[in-house]
Amino acid sequence: MTRGTRTNRNWVLDADLSAAFDRIHHERLMQTLGNFPARGAIRGWLKAGVMEGGQWAPTEEGTPQGGVISPLLLNVALHGMESAAGVEYRMQKGREPGTKSGTPVLIRYADDFVVLVHTREEAEKAKRELAEWLEPRGLRFNEEKARITQVSAGFDFLGFNIRRSRDGKAIIRPSQGAVRRIRERLRTEVKALHGANVAVVLRRLSPIVRGWATYYRGAVSSQTFKSLDAYTWRLTYKWATRGHPKKSKPWVVQRYFGKFNKARNDKWVFGDRESGAYLPRFAWTPIVRHVMVKGAASPDDPTLQDYWATRRRKKAPPAMDKVSIQLAFRQKGLCPLCGETLITGAEYEPDDPRGWIDWFAAVAKRLHKHHFVHRRDGGGDEKNNLRLVHADCHRQHHEAHDRRTGRKANAPVGSA
């Protein structure tokens, strides 16, 4: 839609809806649902009211933002938005479905959307027609954010900046707003960790780095990753010197920085000398280009199960540490202690940086590396002596072993 020298959609209406979840018109939504079997339950949810400070208040419009069903109800309310913008599709036998030449293209995610058109006049017309279509549904544009611009000048969508270069290439990078937010998140976290030990710092920052890098690994992010690594290094260095005001800078560097990652020739990695744990770098996450979904393929289509299974097998693994990825691959994604999948639902990837950060934080708590031959019995950290297991399975395994041997039980922390 935005790449190629021959494409004629050179203008974009970049907009979102103002307080969309709070203003959905209930009766119009129920009309759209038609004879859906669960419409009575949905009406009950919409009219249930809210409790705040012990007081009940009725809900005359909208759905709770953050409610599990709210995104689905918003999608129902906005059904038909593409037609209102003038989008038309061609369906030809033997060809993938696509938009007709000369018509706009609308891409929407929840209440955030863009409309790609051929001229500025078409963009203004699409905005007027969409405003008229939205009004009876209780919705309207967020005028402060709505703008019309050329694709070559770039626009932001879902945390990415998208623009077309002179040679027709689509350049997709993390947006300046997204970079500003992650810097603020890192700065706030480190500031709150003044006085904490290095293990806590690593536990808090590692999911943030891995999660954000994983979300943006499909874009042109290499320079952004390097810039964020330099910024994170400054934050951790300041944290370390603040914690030891009477120590020299060489002493601080020796204590907290070094070649913790044996696979990287980098002596400035922030880590813990006692445990060997370290903070991953953004730039260690490889750039993996996103592969477009074929045509109108849907994960809910039972005839396309093989297509989606193959796609999931080929997708790049999340940016976990290299040993964990190798162990998970060798174990075919199964825990050897219980036989169940290591990460339930891992095929459903989060769709925003916060989701990826939470995903990595949860995985860090759920998975441990188990030594087949315990370290107390002479076992080492070689990959052939390691197994990736559920944290609960790991704990139960050690408790059972200690009961059999009469040893005092010690809960494992990350490894046996």
- Strands 160-164, 98-99: pairing is unpaired
> Would you state the structure tokens that stand for residue 15, as one six-digit string?
């907009």
Tens-digit pLDDT profile for residues 254-279: 999 999 988 888 999 999 998 888 99
Q: What is the pTM of this model?
A: 0.75
Lowest mean pLDDT, pick from 139-153, 163-177, 393-407: 393-407
Lowest mean pLDDT, pick from 169-183, 339-353, 366-380: 339-353
Region 80-101 average pLDDT: 82
Region 292-316 average pLDDT: 79
Decide which of 414 and 234 is more confident.
234
User: What sign for the dihedral angle of Cα 216, 219, 221, 222?
Assistant: positive
Tens-digit pLDDT profile for residues 364-387: 667 788 887 777 677 777 778 888
* pLDDT at position 4: 47
Q: How far apart are CA 99 and CA 189, in angstroms?
A: 45
* pLDDT at position 291: 81
* pLDDT at position 347: 46
**Rounded to whole angstroms, what are the CA distances from 173 to 32, 218, 222, 297, 329?**
37, 9, 9, 26, 30
The confidence band for 415, taking pLDDT boundaries of 50, 70 and 90, is very low
The confidence band for 166, taking pLDDT boundaries of 50, 70 and 90, is confident
The confidence band for 180, taking pLDDT boundaries of 50, 70 and 90, is very high
Q: Is 94 helix (H, G, I), strand (E, B) or coil?
A: coil
Closest among 282, 268, 277 to 203, alpha carbons compared? 277
* pLDDT at position 339: 80
Conformational region of residue 36, where left means phi above 0, alpha means psi within -120 to 50, and beta covers everything else: beta
The confidence band for 155, taking pLDDT boundaries of 50, 70 and 90, is very high
Cβ atoms 77, 275 nearer than 8 A: no
pLDDT > 90: percent of the chain: 38
Contacts of 230 (CB under 8 A, 6+ apart): none
Helix (H) or strand (E) holding 155: strand 155-157
Does the pLDDT at position 246 exceed 70?
Answer: yes
Does the pLDDT at position 130 exceed 70?
Answer: yes
Does the pLDDT at position 363 exceed 70?
Answer: no
Mean pLDDT (the chain) is 84
